[in-house]
């Protein structure tokens, strides 16, 4: 299983430095949360990790390759991205959107086969959209569209999953369903997950590690028990975050 590693990464937009000198090794079997206030560069970091935009400085290695030297198709079999937003120019059916995830595995003239259709149906069952294959994307609610996009990532089945606000638009039941499923994939199949989250309680509960992006160049990476704590969180979001212990469970809340 290939690992993703960043060395001395420096990110910025225009004249602003978003993150200065970040080095992290993302191992298989780890789930990372990226936390930070609006505009702190969470999505930029995720897209850079995906090899879709270049950092100002630093290296990103996927297994033994520099990620920017990998052919796009090969990269897409190792690493998948759930985008934050979905734009459908010519909206088709749920099935078409999910089967798109099989693209990196298909040759130029190959069509989807029985196996791909089965993978599509399994993924739809996992996101609780069973039987909606032929529904038009335009007829879906925001949360349902988000679950279709998650199903696309599930059939892409990359060893490393990058997710930009995966819980967007999802109701509590489906948020938990999704994060539990990701947890199972990470723990039992040795995959890696890196996700942008806004809810630090979900991060504390479902992730093993976290990166805190302060938005001014400072960043902090470590295990959840180290960095998802009152002090760093309060600094991160520039507001008082307090800790509450209830029935053996730790809950953080904005005071």
Partner 1 sequence: MPLRPYAFFSLLGLLTILSLGLALSLGSVGLTPSDLLKAIEGDSNTLASQIVLDLRLPRAVNGFAVGGLLALAGALMQVLLRNPLADPYILGVSGGAAVFTLLAILLGLSGIALHLSAFGGALLAMILVFGLAQRRGNWSPAKLLLTGVVMTSGWGALTGFILSISPERALHGMLFWLMGDLADSSRPSLGVTVLFITLLGSLPLARALNILSFGELQAASLGVNIARLRILLYLLASLMTAMAVTLAGSVGFVGLVVPHLLRLLGCRDHRLLLPASVLMGGSLLVIADTLARTLLAPSQLPVGILSALIGVPIFLYLLQRNEVRV
Scanning 28-36, 57-65, 85-93, 236-244 for contacts with partner 1 by CB under 8 A, the matching segment is: 85-93
Residue 29 DSSP SS3: coil
Residue 39 DSSP SS3: coil
- Tell which positions 113-172 bind partner 1, by CB under 8 A: 134, 136, 138-139, 149, 152, 156
Q: Which is nearer to partner 1, 38 or 134 (CB)?
A: 134
The least distance separating partner 1 from the CB of residue 32, rounded to whole angstroms, comes to: 18
Per CB under 8 A, the list member of 39, 66, 92, 231 interacting with partner 1 is: 92
Read off the tokens for 99: 């089967």
> Max alpha carbon distance in the chain (Å)?
58
Q: Which residues pair with 35 in a beta bridge?
A: 212
The least distance separating partner 1 from the CB of residue 94, rounded to whole angstroms, comes to: 12
Q: Which residues pair with 10 in a beta bridge?
A: 57
Q: Where are the beta strands (DSSP E) in 78-173?
A: 79-82, 160-164
How far from the centroid of its chain's Cα atoms is residue 15's Cα?
A: 27
Q: Which is nearer to partner 1, 81 or 212 (CB)?
A: 81
How far from the centroid of its chain's Cα atoms is residue 212's Cα?
A: 15
Site map 45..84 versus partner 1, x via CB under 8 A: --x--x-x-------------------xxxxxx--xx-x-
The least distance separating partner 1 from the CB of residue 77, rounded to whole angstroms, comes to: 7
- Residues 170 and 35: their CA atoms lie apart, in Å, by 19
Count, residues in the chain: 255
In contact, 10 and 18? CB cutoff 8 Å: no
Q: Which is nearer to partner 1, 100 or 220 (CB)?
A: 100
The least distance separating partner 1 from the CB of residue 16, rounded to whole angstroms, comes to: 19
Q: Which is nearer to partner 1, 14 or 111 (CB)?
A: 111
Residues at the site binding partner 1, with contacts judged by CB under 8 A? 47, 50, 52, 72-77, 80-81, 83, 85-90, 92, 96-97, 100-101, 103-104, 106, 108-109, 111, 134, 136, 138-139, 149, 152, 156
């Amino acid at each position: 299983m290939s690992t993703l590693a960043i060395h001395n990464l420096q990110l910025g937009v225009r004249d602003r430095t978003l993150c200065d000198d970040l080095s992290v090794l993302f191992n298989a079997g780890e789930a990372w949360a990226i936390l930070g206030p609006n505009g702190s560069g969470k999505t930029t970091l995720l897209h850079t990790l995906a090899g879709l935009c270049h950092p100002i400085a630093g290296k990103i290695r996927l297994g033994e390759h520099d990620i920017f030297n990998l052919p796009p198709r090969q990269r897409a079999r190792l690493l998948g991205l759930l985008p934050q937003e979905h734009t459908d120019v010519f909206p088709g059916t749920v099935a078409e959107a999910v089967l798109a995830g099989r693209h990196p595995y298909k040759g130029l003239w190959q069509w989807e086969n029985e196996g791909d259709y089965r993978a599509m149906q399994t993924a739809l069952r996992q996101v609780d959209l069973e039987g909606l294959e032929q529904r038009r994307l335009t007829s879906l609610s925001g949360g349902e569209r988000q679950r279709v996009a998650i199903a696309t990532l599930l059939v892409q089945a990359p060893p490393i999953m990058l997710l930009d606000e995966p819980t967007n638009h999802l109701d509590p039941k489906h948020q938990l369903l999704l994060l539990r499923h990701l947890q199972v994939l990470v723990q039992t199949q040795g995959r890696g997950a890196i996700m942008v989250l806004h809810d630090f309680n979900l991060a504390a509960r479902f992730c093993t590690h976290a990166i805190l992006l302060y938005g001014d160049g400072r960043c902090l990476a470590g295990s959840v028990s180290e960095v998802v704590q009152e002090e760093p969180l309060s600094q991160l979001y520039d507001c008082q975050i307090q800790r509450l212990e209830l029935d053996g469970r730790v809950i953080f809340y904005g005071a």
